[in-house]
């Protein structure tokens, strides 16, 4: 038996003093991580390293879904040259985090099955590794061939490279090389040091999740500065987050239809998405909600006129969306392309630590709104829907179900919002952060859990900022889902996950 040596914190609670986080011997660290993660109700939120002049410190944060808590513990290393035993063979969800640490610091993990660069970050330890010499897997065989796709793709999307090893039309293996979108955003959180600059940065981590990431950042700042926010603001933030989820889920349904050449479904859903993002624009002047979420308050408090408009738009959306999805998911021509294609099994999802919508479509109940509630979800409890099959059809249906849920949530939240006293508080930019702290903020964005972590130095300046987009876990899910599929099914598999390139590359 191992001894429990971690601290337990709540999402978005007051920050911990860094010195309270236990520093374990590496063997003990590994034993504890592996033992904890045997439980399905726990998964790794992030595992990352912070470099200081004295040492390298590694923080591991594990979400305990059954107890609404986050378990934090660490280990440290004085000599970077010393390799560490890899946790990945025992606990695969660490694979991407160990790769990231290896790339950034040069610390090697012995026994890691694919210790390869993650994103070719600007500050990587080994500059001789470049986008051009990524060590792809290959299989020597006259029967097999390789197909390379990207970084520039056919559509108007972000860049990434996909390398398939195929037997005829069948995909044996897919390897995904990312990093093209790397903008050095984590470092910019330190070098661009005004509060407003950090807000703008948070909205640009992944522009399709502006509200989700801006909320994760604002929560983190409010936690580090001990700022109280009003009930009104908490409700408005949840409404904004659900509008974002709604718009993307409807847009994804359109894109899935587009990929199987079902035009009626595509155009009807595209038009519906437009009405939702135009409603967001009516609220804050931006179709993606940029500028809406700020620490402490908002420049765009909800008013009755906008609230009424949201209610009206949603009422017509729910009717129109149900009409069109009833048809989409009853058409043989569509179903034959979605059904049983691109399966991510529950087992695989658990193994790689899949999160969010994709995990829920594979029967894994991971939803931060439920398990680590934040903002008004603390009071207004939601019941996430899950499906079992984990194929393209399940991920499509998952979106349809979540559209219905989000609309119900928004309707109810607006009712509650109308009862609350309003003070329309403005954003707070001249906050003072508590010194020597460590804070975690998690938000369930439309893709899944968005985590922001920060530490402050002795003067209350942010000394390290870490971002984890849900795509970090889920790109591996896509690679697994396309195995043994026809290569021509790759586009719908990809679309059904709709992962972020820039959120991954940072």
Partner 1 sequence: MFKEVKILASHGRQYIDNLRTQKVSEIFRGRPVISKNISAEEIKEVSGLCPVYAIDSISGSIDLGKCVFCKECSFFLPEKIRFTNDYHVAGNSRESLIVKPGMEGPMRLDESKVRIEIRRIFKGALKLREVSAGGDNSSEMELSATGNVNFDFGRYGIEFVASPRHADGIVITGPISENMAEALDITYKAIPSPKIIILAGTDAISGGIFEGSPAIDRKFIEKYHIDLYVPGNPIHPLTFINGVLDLLDIKG
Contacts with partner 1 by CB under 8 A lie at 119-122, 131, 151-152, 154-159, 179-185, 187-188, 191-192, 194, 196-197, 199-201, 204-208, 210, 251, 264, 267-268, 270-271, 274, 278, 281-288, 290-291, 299, 316, 319-320, 323-324, 326-327, 426, 500-502, 505
Q: Tell me whether residue 1 or residue 154 sits nearer to partner 1 (CB atom).
A: 154
Rounded-to-integer distance, Cα 116 and Cα 353, Å: 19
Task: Say what angle helices 263-284 and 231-259 make with each other, to 10 degrees.
Answer: 160
State in Å, rounded, how far the first CA of the chain is from the last one. Answer: 39
> Minimum distance from CB of 429 to partner 1 (Å)?
9
Q: What angle do CA 237, 239, 242 make, to 5 degrees?
A: 110
Q: Taking the CA of residue 140 as centre, how many other CA atoms within 13 Å lie in the half-sphere pointing to its CB?
A: 0
- Closest to partner 1 by CB, 265 vs 373, is 265
H helical segments located in 106-230: 185-191, 195-204, 210-225
* Strand, helix or coil for residue 371: helix
Q: Are 276 and 288 in contact (CB under 8 A)?
A: no
State in angstroms the smallest separation of the CB of 25 from partner 1.
35
CB of 52 to partner 1, least distance (A): 21
Question: Measured at the alpha carbon of residue 335, what is the angle toward residues 397 and 470, in degrees to the nearest 5?
Answer: 35
DSSP run (H or E) holding 437 = strand 437-444
Strand order in the sheet with 161-167: 145-149, 161-167, 170-177
1 C-beta neighbours (distance < 10 Å), count: 5
What is the radius of gyration, based on Cα positions, of the chain?
Answer: 22
> Which residue lies nearer to partner 1 by CB, 161 or 369?
161
Identity of the residue, 356 or 363, whose beta carbon is nearer to partner 1 in the bound complex: 356
Closest to partner 1 by CB, 24 vs 257, is 257
- We find the least distance from the C-beta atom of residue 32 to partner 1, in angstroms, to be 35
To 5 degrees, how large is the angle CA 317–CA 320–CA 326?
125
Taking the complex as a whole, the smallest distance from the CB of residue 423 to partner 1 amounts, in Å, to 17
Of residues 201 and 341, the one with the C-beta less far from partner 1: 201
- The dihedrals phi and psi of 248, each to the nearest 5 degrees, come to -70, -40
Q: How far is the CB of 261 from partner 1 (least distance, A)?
A: 15
Q: Toward partner 1, which CB reaches closer, 251 or 373?
A: 251
Between 106 and 285, CB nearer to partner 1: 285
Compute the least distance from the CB of residue 427 to partner 1, in Å.
9
Q: How far is the CB of 488 from partner 1 (least distance, A)?
A: 16
Whether cis (ω within 30° of 0) applies to the bond prior to 353 is no
């Amino acid at each position: 038996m191992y001894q429990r040596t971690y601290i337990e914190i709540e999402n978005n609670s007051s920050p911990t003093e860094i010195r309270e986080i236990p520093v374990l011997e590496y063997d003990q660290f590994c034993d504890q991580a592996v033992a904890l993660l045997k439980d399905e109700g726990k998964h790794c939120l992030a595992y990352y390293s912070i470099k200081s002049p004295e040492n390298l410190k590694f923080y591991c944060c594990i979400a305990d879904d059954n107890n609404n808590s986050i378990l934090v513990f660490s280990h440290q290393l004085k000599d970077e040259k010393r390799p560490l035993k890899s946790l990945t063979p025992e606990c695969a969800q660490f694979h991407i985090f160990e790769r990231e640490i290896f790339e950034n610091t040069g610390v090697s993990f012995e026994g890691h099955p694919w210790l390869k660069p993650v994103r070719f970050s600007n500050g990587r330890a080994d500059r001789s590794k470049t986008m051009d010499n990524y060590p792809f897997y290959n299989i020597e065989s006259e029967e097999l061939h390789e197909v390379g796709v990207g970084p520039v793709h056919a559509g108007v999307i972000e860049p990434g490279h996909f390398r398939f090893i195929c037997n005829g039309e069948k995909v044996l293996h897919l390897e995904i090389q990312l990093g093209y979108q790397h903008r050095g955003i984590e470092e910019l959180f330190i070098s661009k040091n005004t509060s407003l600059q950090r807000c703008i940065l948070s909205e640009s981590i992944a522009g399709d999740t502006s509200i989700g990431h801006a909320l994760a950042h604002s929560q983190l700042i409010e936690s580090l500065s001990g700022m109280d926010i009003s009930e009104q603001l908490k409700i408005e933030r949840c409404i904004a987050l659900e509008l974002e989820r709604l718009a993307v889920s409807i847009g994804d349904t359109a894109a899935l239809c587009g990929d199987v050449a079902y035009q009626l479904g595509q155009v009807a859903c595209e038009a519906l998405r437009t009405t939702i993002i135009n409603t967001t624009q009516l609220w804050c002047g931006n179709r993606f909600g940029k500028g809406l979420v700020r620490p402490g308050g908002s420049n765009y408090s909800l008013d009755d006129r906008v609230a009424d408009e949201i209610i009206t738009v949603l009422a017509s959306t729910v009717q129109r969306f149900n009409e069109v999805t009833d048809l989409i998911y009853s058409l043989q021509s569509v179903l034959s392309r979605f059904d049983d294609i691109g399966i991510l099994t529950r087992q695989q999802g658990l193994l790689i630590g899949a999160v969010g919508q994709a995990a829920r479509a594979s029967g894994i109940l991971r939803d931060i709104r439920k398990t680590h509630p934040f903002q008004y979800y603390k009071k207004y409890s939601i019941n996430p829907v899950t499906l079992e099959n984990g194929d393209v059809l399940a991920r499509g249906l998952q979106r349809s179900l979540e559209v219905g849920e989000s609309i119900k949530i928004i309707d109810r939240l607006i009712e509650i919002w109308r009862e609350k006293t309003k003070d329309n508080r403005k954003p707070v930019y001249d906050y003072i952060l508590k010194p020597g702290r460590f804070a975690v903020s998690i938000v369930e964005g439309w893709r899944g859990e968005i985590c922001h972590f920060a530490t402050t130095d002795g003067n209350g300046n942010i000394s390290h900022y870490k971002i984890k987009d849900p795509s970090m876990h889920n790109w591996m899910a896509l690679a697994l889902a396309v195995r043994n599929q026809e290569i021509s099914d790759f586009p719908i598999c990809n679309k059904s996950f709709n992962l972020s390139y820039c959120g991954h590359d940072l």
